[in-house]
Amino acid sequence: EPEVTQTPSHQVTQMGQEVILRCVPISNHLYFYWYRQILGQKVEFLVSFYNNEISEKSEIFDDQFSVERPDGSNFTLKIRSTKLEDSAMYFCASSERDEQFFGPGTRLTVL
Amino acid sequence: SQKIEQNSEALNIQEGKTATLTCNYTNYSPAYLQWYRQDPGRGPVFLLLIRENEKEKRKERLKVTFDTTLKQSLFHITASQPADSATYLCALGVGLNFNKFYFGSGTKLNVKP
């Protein structure tokens, strides 16, 4: 069964450093998403991406965040200058239409 | 902004009983509402979707209702099993293109044998 994959599973970085989180969505899907979940809190929408451009973004998704689909298979989330409060689990999801398939997540720890 | 409330932090029920979980929302009406299951340390897994013009949806032991007047969705698991123990999340699809999602904080369901 096709699935969304994410790498790395765990990323540790120093405050102020740039990180890139990678996702491979399901191949025939058209919509791509990034979410974050701070430990013990709710899943928070960051951004949706369709037709090679951002479709929707949340208030969290400020100038320090960017997304890219550099080739036909990868979907990346870049955080330019990480802060302590960026520590969270980051989930990528993809959908053909409405049903979203989530990846296993990348745990980001900012020290 | 959209506010979503899911009932109680944990729901404890006996195996074989029906679990009923609630999702209430405020402000504008979403185009559709989704229910997900999340196990510890894992990503959410899609269960059911119900659109604003639908009253009820079923899938095996799962049933979802959607009342746009009350701004509420109910999620039922019939004949519950210990394997159903997990956190259940509701999510509202909103925005211009309906692909912006607000998630509730989830209800933790414990099914005891």
Taking only the tens place, the pLDDT of each residue in B9-29 is: 799 999 999 999 999 998 767
One-letter identity of residue A68? E
A chain contacts of residue B49, beta-carbon cutoff 8 Å: 98-99
pLDDT-derived band at A98, boundaries 50, 70, 90: confident
Q: Are B50 and B57 in contact (CB under 8 A)?
A: yes
Higher pLDDT, A73 or B30: A73
Question: Does A66 contact chain B (CB < 8 Å)?
Answer: no
User: A33 has which bridge partners?
Assistant: A48, A93
The reported pLDDT for the residue numbered A71 is 86
Q: What integer is the mean pLDDT of A32-58?
A: 94
CB-defined contacts A:B, below 8 A: 64
Count the Cβ atoms, other than its own, within 10 Å of residue A24: 16
Interchain CB distance below 8 Å, A98 and B93: yes
DSSP B5: E
- Check if the beta carbon of residue A56 is closer than 8 Å to that of residue B96: yes
Helices (H) and strands (E) in chain A, counts: 0, 11
In chain B, % helix, strand, coil (3-state, to 5) comes to 5, 55, 40
Is B87 an interface residue toward A (CB < 8 Å)?
A: no
Instruction: List CB contacts of A106: < 8 A, sequence separation 6 or more.
Output: A6, A7, A8, A9, A10, A11, A21, A89, A90
Pair of tokens at residue B108? 């933790």
Q: Which residues contact B32 (CB under 8 A, 6 or more apart)?
A: A98, B49, B50, B51, B52, B92, B93, B98
CB contact under 8 A, A58 and B96: no
> CB atoms < 10 A from the CB of B84, how many?
18
Regions of chain B short of the pLDDT cut 50:
none
Whole-angstrom distance, CA of residue B73 vs CA of residue B76:
10
Q: Which of A16-20, A79-83, B6-10, B109-113 has the lowest mean pLDDT?
A: B6-10
